[in-house]
Amino acid sequence: MHFQWYPGHMTKAKRMMQENIKLIDLVIELVDARIPISSRNPDIDELGKNKARLVLLNKSDLAEEKWNDAWAEYFKEKGYSVVKVNSKKGGGIKSIQGVIREACKEKIERDRKRGILNRPVRAMVVGIPNVGKSTFINALAGKACAKTGNKPGVTKGKQWIRLNKQVELLDTPGILWPKFEDQEVGLRLAFIGSMKDEILNTEELAAELIKFLSRAYPDVLPEKYAVELNEDPYIVLHEIAKNRNCVVRGNELDTEKAAILLLDDFRNGRLGRLTLEYPETCE
């Protein structure tokens, strides 16, 4: 689940992306609805220039609905098509094919004027690791869809998944790396479980999450763990350990275990739907 990038990874990923992007009309970019900016790679705008663009706010089930709407507006104002999706449960997936056609209508019109009729639109899914690319492709394409290319006797090449007569999807998603050199971004990625936990140790990470939640969602920790907020996040962590009976060697409180519990509850939506960044703050 966790990932770590090295310069070699980044060069390879970028080269793959540059090659594949030549083949497509539309970039379908997944972002995590809880951190729609931190889960992006700014290079995608350069890589995807001259292409139709669709941004999917994935894992929208884990983020606050009012912020999902605000983020959808934010991306629309920037000229992207946007859909809120929950790839795991299929939410929002039905509307995608229509949105793809709409996003590519200029290209379809250009083709029509040049006498090219019924050429399917070709799309590629891109996003940082763990954002839900494979889950989305499976949800959109399902099992029944036909694959084209790479059949015995047919030219070797990319695998395209035919969604219908009008849309084809490249079956391998493009992997983007996040802006992890930015501390704040790295922290948010670590909260959602997309960065190696060793950037901070588990308790430090939990303490940072407690600080964030105390500020942005002050009811969440008291309601979930019956704790009082405190200036010192380690006191709160200690209280969580006490109230959840996280102990080692009989009676010693285990704050590491409490930290894992908290992070796990947060990542799986058990603290409710929470958004970690908001459109105003990233202008």
Residue (95 or 134) nearer to ligand G4P, CB: 134
Residue count at the site for ligand G4P (CB under 6 A)?
16
Strands (E), the chain: 26-32, 52-58, 81-84, 121-127, 146-148, 160-162, 167-170, 174-175, 247-248, 252-253
Asked if 133 is part of the footprint of ligand G4P (rule: CB under 6 A), the reply reads: yes
H helix intervals, 29-64: 43-47
Q: What is the closest distance, in whole angstroms, from the C-beta atom of residue 13 to ligand G4P in the complex?
A: 13
Interface segment toward ligand G4P; rule CB under 6 A; list 20-28, 84-92, 113-121, 246-254:
84-92
Q: Which of 25, 61, 64, 239 binds ligand G4P (CB under 6 A)?
A: 61
Phi, psi of 122 (to 5 degrees): -110, 130
- The residue sitting closest to ligand G4P, measured at its beta carbon, is 132
**Interface characters, 183-222, with ligand G4P (x: CB under 6 A):** ----------------------------------------
Give the whole-angstrom CA distance, residue 189 versus residue 182: 11
**Is 39 a binder of ligand G4P (CB under 6 A)?**
no
Q: By three-state DSSP, how is residue 66 classified?
A: helix
- What's the token pair of residue 240? 């969580």
Which lies closer to ligand G4P via its Cβ, residue 87 or residue 255?
87
Closest approach of ligand G4P to the CB of residue 174, in Å: 10
Cβ-based neighbours of 221, under 8 Å, separated by 6 or more: 210, 213, 214, 227, 229, 236, 240
* Closer to ligand G4P by Cβ: residue 59 or 244: 59
Choosing from 81, 130, 202, 275, the residue that interacts with ligand G4P (CB under 6 A) is 130
Contacts of residue 94, Cβ cutoff 8 Å, sequence gap at least 6: none
Find the binder of ligand G4P among 86, 202, 255, 275 (CB under 6 A).
86
Burial annotation 24-56 (CB, 10 A radius, 16+ → b, else e): bbbbbbbbbbbbbbbbbbeebeebbeebbbbbb
Of 4, 11, 95, 134, the one binding ligand G4P by CB under 6 A: 134
Helix (H, G, I), strand (E, B) or coil at 116: coil
Q: Is 62 in the site for ligand G4P (CB under 6 A)?
A: yes
Residue numbers at the binding site for ligand G4P (CB under 6 A)? 1, 58-59, 61-62, 86-88, 127, 129-135
